[in-house]
């Protein structure tokens, strides 16, 4: 009886070790992820509220820490002239702002925080919710594109495009 219990215990232990050591779950883990919160970032995000408000937040994560988070803006209304008027270039790195002036502008727009550094962190968000009423106010449905490119400290990178469209606006 003792031998039978010992064999059973050994089999249970081996089974638990085999399951615990399995790396099948790791195959699906990407070193860099860019995902819409509550929406598919690979599809156009349609803003349909009459007041042009919407929660548009992108979750960004890396295993090795963010080295760069480059944002490139492509929009029929957010032209280089319009962006320059508010001290914002069409392309910038949120993890490494090119100047203190740009960093202050990004903080003012809520894209950066004084308290939280993006560079080196393993997760952050890109939240443009506050800009939806502004974009909708231009009376141009878009598309308004925010091309996000994330590079981690191991050299892994991923680009995704957040495309926002206002179908209720006239062209």
| pLDDT band at residue 168 under the 50/70/90 scheme | confident
What is the value of pTM for the model shown?
A: 0.81
- When pLDDT is averaged across residues 26-37 and rounded to a whole number, the result is 81
| pLDDT band at residue 102 under the 50/70/90 scheme | very high
φ, ψ of residue 137 to 5 degrees: the values are: -70, -15
| pLDDT band at residue 5 under the 50/70/90 scheme | very low
Cβ count near 87 (within 10 Å): 14
Nearest to 88 by CA among 59, 119, 128, 36: 128
Domain ranges of the chain: 30-165
* CATH fold group of domain 30-165: Immunoglobulin-like (2.60.40)
| pLDDT band at residue 49 under the 50/70/90 scheme | confident
């Amino acid at each position: 009886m003792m031998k039978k219990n010992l064999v059973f215990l050994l089999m249970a232990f081996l089974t638990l070790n085999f399951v615990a050591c399995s790396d099948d779950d790791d195959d699906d883990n990407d070193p860099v992820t860019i995902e819409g919160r509550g929406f598919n970032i690979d599809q156009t995000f349609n803003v349909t509220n009459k007041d042009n408000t919407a929660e548009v937040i992108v979750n960004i994560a890396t295993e090795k820490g963010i080295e760069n988070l480059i944002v490139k803006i492509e929009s029929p209304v957010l032209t280089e002239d319009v962006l320059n008027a508010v001290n914002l270039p069409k392309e910038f790195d949120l993890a490494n702002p090119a100047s203190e002036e740009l960093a202050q502008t990004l903080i003012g727009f809520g894209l950066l925080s004084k308290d939280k550094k993006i560079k080196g962190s393993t997760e952050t968000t890109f939240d443009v919710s506050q800009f939806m009423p502004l974009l909708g106010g231009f009376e141009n449905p878009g598309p308004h594109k925010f091309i996000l490119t994330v590079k981690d400290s191991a050299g892994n990178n991923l680009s995704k495009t957040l495309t926002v469209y206002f179908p209720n606006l006239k062209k």
